[in-house]
Amino acid sequence: MAARRGSMTALNAIIGKPGKIRIANFRITSQGPGTGNGCQALLRHGDRLGCCGCDVLRGTRQGNILLRKRFVVIRIASPGQFAASGSNHCLSAADGRAPRTMRRPGETGMAGATKTPAGKSAGSPTIEPSKPRLLGLLGPGLITGASDDDPSGIATYSQTGAQFGYATSWTLLFSYPLMTAIQIISARLGRTTGRGIAGNLRKYYPNWLVYSSVSLLLIANVINIGADVGAMADAVHVLIGGPQIAYVVAFGTICILMQVFLAYKNYVGVLKWLTLALLAYVATLFVVKVDWLDFARHLVLPDLSFKADYLTAIVAIFGTTISPYLFFWQSSQEVEDIKAVPERKPLKAAPEQADNAGSRISLDTFVGMAISNIIALAITITAAATLHANGVTDIQSSAQAAEALKPIAGTFAEILFAVGIVGTGLLAVPVLGGSAAYAVGETMRWKTGLDRKPREARAFYATIALATVIGAGLNLTPINPIKALYWSAVINGVVAVPIMAVMMMMSTQPRIMGRETIGLSLRIFGWLATGVMTLTAIAMIVTSFL
């Protein structure tokens, strides 16, 4: 069975023994967008391959393809050949021309393969896209947004809700377009240049700016890791009792093992599933009594105040929702995805991929940041409707908020709140450790990436482990985690401003971005976010002396 020669590919298929197929002499007859070599052009992640008895075609970063249902495995044997074996007996090849509806390579989600009746030649191209699934398109933006609601963030939203009721809810509506814009810009930097933020800083800016920014980020992340691990341990102690130190050690170990020993694809899958823990806070709303009219009024018509405690609360919310580690993480994950999907190239080198890449990044980030702020609102509403309404106005930690809910909203609300703390902590701690390792690794020119084996990137993984160990170890010292978290927020607020300003300058320079500089709307909202964070940093410093 021989394939017809199309404008993009040609393929010879040789039928061997029953149940065995060998495909050879695959070659490119004319270059198409994103076709690096013959195997990549045919076996594109997310595309369909016409075959008999095949339901799902799934690619992996090693170049292996799994045709499910009949469990046929196709393994790339060499740059020009691949071999297939299994129970399949028919693999049809037709014109390799991409249909008009085909997406550019590398930006689609997981796909299923088409079924072709046995004995019939495929009447349509064998390589064609399926409609991408939403979950397949969501990735770095979703995980970044979900990790923003970490246990320390939960403590902030719980405290502001308990102290001021619904009065601070407007900040989460106001911050949404700002945080979305700055995260899209950070993602675009990674996807366009093929380097994370630290890598671009090192390449284009003076060393003093790189080292000072990364050092402050590392310190803030380590403190945040300590607060989050401690909060998870407290939450488990609230639920079942037992030694908190043992829980600290257990959670720290789990977070390290997840990043070091899980393959990148599996690790991302785990992080996506952990985002479901955020639903616990939505569920909590159904077991508490909320004055929705009062909430809606404060959401759109805020009662502003210039009292020191109110300003401190506003500063804390903005410092929690717009944090430097989120910029570094999402940018680095876009770079990881370029490595994981062979067809993806940095947009500076492959501008033909820009439209689909930009659309995917925007959708991913809009959804991720929306989830982040919806959950933050749910936590604020819960605390306002229960704690504030019953005169409980001083909450020092997320676990204390869960405990305080029990006599007011019942045991079920307490359990949901505590389970959410554990789930979000397991999501956020690896992100904090990972973003620190990416920043340090790119600065020091180490081999970086969760797609690498530990032996290939020893210093990178050692940074993840060391940051997590030191952070978790803070819970074993006399250092007050709440005070440490406050200074972490101060450091984050201070370091965010210059990093955001430099990101805005990098994203508008053709020498860095090529033809893919950001548009007017992103420039407006990006600089507005930078201005707001500048005022926030100033206010944070001023209120610390009030």
Residue 60 has pLDDT above 50, yes or no: no
Of the listed ranges 106-110, 203-207, 336-340, 354-358, the least confidently predicted one is 106-110
Residue 227 has pLDDT above 80, yes or no: yes
Of the listed ranges 115-124, 339-348, 378-387, 411-420, the least confidently predicted one is 115-124
Mean pLDDT of 263-271: 74
Question: For the chain, how many residues are written?
Answer: 546
Of the listed ranges 181-195, 297-311, 463-477, 514-528, the least confidently predicted one is 297-311
Mean pLDDT of 465-485: 83
Higher pLDDT, 489 or 104: 489
Query: pLDDT tens-digit profile of 281-295?
Result: 888 888 888 899 999
DSSP state, residue 475: G
Query: pLDDT tens-digit profile of 14-59?
Result: 333 333 333 333 332 333 333 333 333 333 333 333 333 333 333 3
What distance in Å separates the CA atoms of residue 77 and residue 537, rounded to the nearest whole number? Answer: 56
The H-assigned helical ranges of 55-195 are: 134-137, 140-147, 151-164, 170-193
| pLDDT at residue number 423 | 86
What distance in Å separates the CA atoms of residue 114 and residue 103, rounded to the nearest whole number? Answer: 17
> Are the C-beta atoms of residues 428 and 151 closer than 8 Å to each other?
yes
| DSSP code string of 259-282 | HHHS-HHHHHHHHHHHGGGGHHHH
Higher pLDDT, 520 or 305: 520
Q: How confident is the model at residue 326 (pLDDT cuts 50, 70, 90)?
A: very high
Residue 478 has pLDDT above 90, yes or no: no
| pLDDT at residue number 509 | 94
Residue 8 has pLDDT above 50, yes or no: no
Of 9, 107, 89, the C-alpha closest to 52 is 89
Q: Residue 86 — φ and ψ, nearest 5°?
A: 145, -155
| pLDDT at residue number 137 | 58
Of 169, 437, 450, 453, the C-alpha closest to 321 is 169
Report helix, strand and coil shares of the chain as percent, to nearest 5.
60, 10, 30
Q: Name the β-bridge partners of 15.
A: 21
Give the mean pLDDT of the chain. Answer: 74
Residue 10 has pLDDT above 60, yes or no: no
Residue 202 has pLDDT above 90, yes or no: yes
| pLDDT at residue number 365 | 94
Share above pLDDT 90 across residues of the chain, in percent, rounded to a whole number? 34
Of the listed ranges 37-41, 159-163, 406-410, 476-480, the least confidently predicted one is 37-41
| pLDDT at residue number 546 | 61
Neighbours of 535 (CB within 10 A): 12
| pLDDT at residue number 418 | 84
Residue 112 has pLDDT above 90, yes or no: no
Q: How confident is the model at residue 413 (pLDDT cuts 50, 70, 90)?
A: confident
Share above pLDDT 70 across residues of the chain, in percent, rounded to a whole number? 71
| pLDDT at residue number 373 | 93
| pLDDT at residue number 180 | 96
What distance in Å separates the CA atoms of residue 461 and residue 459, rounded to the nearest whole number? Answer: 6
Of the listed ranges 52-61, 262-271, 308-317, the least confidently predicted one is 52-61
- Tally of helices (H runs) and strands (E runs) in the chain: 20, 9
Q: Which amino acid is at 410?
A: G
| pLDDT at residue number 59 | 36
Which residues fall within 8 angstroms of residue 319, CB to CB, at 6 or more apart?
A: 489, 490, 492, 493, 496, 536, 540
Q: Which amino acid is at 273?
A: W
Residue 198 has pLDDT above 80, yes or no: yes
| pLDDT at residue number 39 | 33
| pLDDT at residue number 409 | 67
The H-assigned helical ranges of 301-410 are: 308-321, 324-340, 354-386, 398-409
| pLDDT at residue number 133 | 53
Which residues fall within 8 angstroms of residue 525, CB to CB, at 6 or more apart?
A: 177, 178, 180, 181, 182
| pLDDT at residue number 187 | 95
Residue 235 has pLDDT above 90, yes or no: no
| pLDDT at residue number 461 | 94
End-to-end CA distance of the chain: 81
Q: How confident is the model at residue 427 (pLDDT cuts 50, 70, 90)?
A: confident
| pLDDT at residue number 100 | 31
Tell me if residue 13 falls in helix, strand or coil: strand
Q: Which amino acid is at 507?
A: S
| pLDDT at residue number 544 | 66
Residue 160 has pLDDT above 50, yes or no: yes
